[in-house]
Amino acid sequence: MKQISFSRLWAGRLAWAPAFALVSTTRLAAADALPPNPDDLVPLHLKLPAADPVSTPKNAPAGTTIEPTPKPQPPLLIPKDAGNVAPGKKITCSDKNVTASDLAKLTDGDKEADGSSIVLLHRGLQWVQFDLGLPREIFAVVIWHAHDSPKVYRSVIVQAADDQDFTENVRTLFSNDRDNSAGLGVGADRQYFESYRGRIIDAKGARARYLRLYSNGSTESPLNEYTEVEIYARPSK
């Protein structure tokens, strides 16, 4: 079974969240990697789980910065030699009650919305971290939080770094933490309703060995819920 048992409680945040803010970060620069040759790009096509049983609400929950209903966008283009490198990589997290075998389920290909597909981390600001084994050019990070209901996750932040302690060359690839409650800098991105489609983050070829994914509960629960993570990358050139 994939679920780690915690009771669902009222959504909230912990006052110690800024303890993660140990280093300053920069937004990903365009010069982080040279643009790929357009002739070498192909659309990113994802294998999606079953569609969500509950449709996305039309009204945003109070206190959120939900983006307007997105219009259909063309698929993200990535180099044809980039693939999902997440399976088999070392995964760690800030919640010490979660085991390595639990975290390995984040890359097992099971993206369905049922409870057995969800890995739970404790309440408050938490992160999961991927060691890609060597520096890679990262073109897309795709995150499926729990999408069993249309909820909004708080302080969704994705960062890349050259070291496992996130003190060297830390870059922010995505952040919707607009009030800087995580202490990692004011985010420029909007919050969004979770869905079976996941969230595709354009990493723009960032060169890094380590990735961290942060969250701080949702509009439904203070717990942090993950279903699957895919990282599309290739060895750094």
Q: Is residue 14 part of a domain?
A: no
| DSSP string computed for 97-161 | TS-HHHHHGGGSS---SSGGG-EEE-SSSEEEEEEEEEEEEEEEEEEEE--SS--BBSS-EEEEE
**Rounded Cα distance, 136 and 79, in Å:** 13
Q: Within a domain: residue 159? A: yes
pLDDT bin (cut points 50, 70, 90) of residue 13 is: very low
What CA–CA distances, in Å, run from 218 to 36, 98, 140, 142? 36, 19, 23, 18
Render pLDDT for 16-54 as a digit per residue (tens, 0 to 9): 333 333 344 555 544 466 677 777 999 999 999 998 776
3-state helix, strand, coil in the chain (%, to 5): 10, 35, 55
Number of compact structural domains in the chain:
1
Name residue 232's amino acid: Y
pLDDT of amino acid 21:
38
Mean pLDDT of 2-21: 38
Please count the other Cβ atoms lying within 10 Å of the Cβ belonging to residue 147: 25
Q: Residue 146 falls within a domain, yes or no?
A: yes
- The pTM score is 0.82
The whole-number pLDDT of residue 148 equals: 87
Would residue 11 count as lying in a domain? no
The answer to whether position 204 is within a domain reads yes
- List the CATH number of the domain containing 133: 2.60.120.260
User: Is residue 43 a part of any domain in this protein?
Assistant: no
pLDDT mean over 86-96 = 97
CB 143 within 8 A of CB 199: yes
Residue 228: inside a domain, yes or no? Answer: yes
User: What is the β-pairing status of strands 26-27 and 126-145?
Assistant: unpaired
Mean of per-residue pLDDT scores for the chain: 84
Give the tens place of pLDDT for each residue, 214-232.
999 999 999 999 999 999 9
Residue 10 lies in a domain: no
With vertex at residue 129, the alpha carbon angle to CA 207 and CA 198, rounded to the nearest 5 degrees, is 85
| Amino acid occupying residue 116 | S
- Banded pLDDT at 63 (limits 50, 70, 90): low
Question: Range of 133's domain?
Answer: 84-237
